[in-house]
Amino acid sequence: MPQRLILLLVFIYTQKTPLAANPLTFFSFDMPFFTRVLKTTLPALANEMFWSLGITTYNAIYAHIGTDAIAAINVNATIEELGFVVFMGLGNACAVMVGNRIGAGKKDEAYETVRRIIILGVSAAWVVGIVVVLMRDVVTNLYDLSPSGVHNVRMLMLMMACTLWIRMFNFSTFIGALRAGGDTRFALIMEICSIWLIGVPVAYVSAFVLHFPVYYVYLMVALEELAKAFVSAWRFRSRKWIHDLVNVPGEEAVAGLVYRAPRAARLFFSPSCNQHLHADSHLCIRICY
């Protein structure tokens, strides 16, 4: 981890990125901006907490079905993570591009970026799903599983392959649109409702009342993702998720903002300045003492 930090700092200051400012400026901020950021980050933090609790609850339910069931879930989770790593990179890249466009006031371009990423991601998810189905025998041969465990893994991988495109759609809209657009409060409400009002109750009833096999319980849990897909699609099309956290009407324009730091270090933003000009954002940063 320290090595990564050092490499990151070296890259920031040697490549003269927009973050290559005087370190003193990082100790100052204006309260309105800090409040807006806090209102955005706290729901995201709570979102991760409730999501983690939900996943833990799912695993507890799977474990109560049987030893073979939880073993199959763990094997399937490993394959799921391998298959999803590409989509995680795609979603995070989308978030960066969307945030950049919203900050530049190009809201239509931000919307179009997410739309294209959704199409690309869902299409790729179908391809990955087909590969997962074809690799089931290879995966089961890598593990020392009982016959019932092998059957569970094969069925779980089939269910995962069939629902992967829904998860990719949700990931693109959730990370690439809602979070990148600052709509974290709506994302939090959607996450809580989908997991705790749909996913967990359905998993409990399927496992302990209907006594479904683990792969059908897994499929029933996917109803949470399906419900989330409808809600996130509606939110995405409404464009209400686009929130500009920097250029807020009623406050000073970005060009006039002055952030005071210790020892009178100041960071000015001036589009007309010819010093330290960044071609990617057309933003000039000048440090004054």
| Residues whose CB is less than 8 angstroms from the CB of residue 245 and which lie 6 or more positions away in sequence, other chains included | 33, 36, 37, 40, 103, 182
Domain ranges of the chain: 51-238, 254-288
Q: In the chain, what's the furthest Cα-to-Cα distance?
A: 73
Q: CA–CA distance from 78 to each of 61, 66, 109, 270 (Å)?
A: 18, 19, 36, 49
Which has the closest alpha carbon to 156: 69, 224, 53? 69
Strand partners, 266: 260, 288
Given a cut of 50, the residues of the chain with pLDDT beneath it are 252-289
Strand partners, 287: 267
Q: H helices of 16-106, where?
A: 31-65, 67-103
pLDDT, tens digit, for every residue of 44-91? Answer: 899 999 999 999 999 999 999 988 899 999 999 999 988 888 888 888
- 3-state SS class at 260: strand
Rounded Cα gap, residues 285 and 29, in angstroms: 16
pLDDT, tens digit, for every residue of 249-270? Answer: 555 444 444 444 444 334 433 4
pTM of the model: 0.76
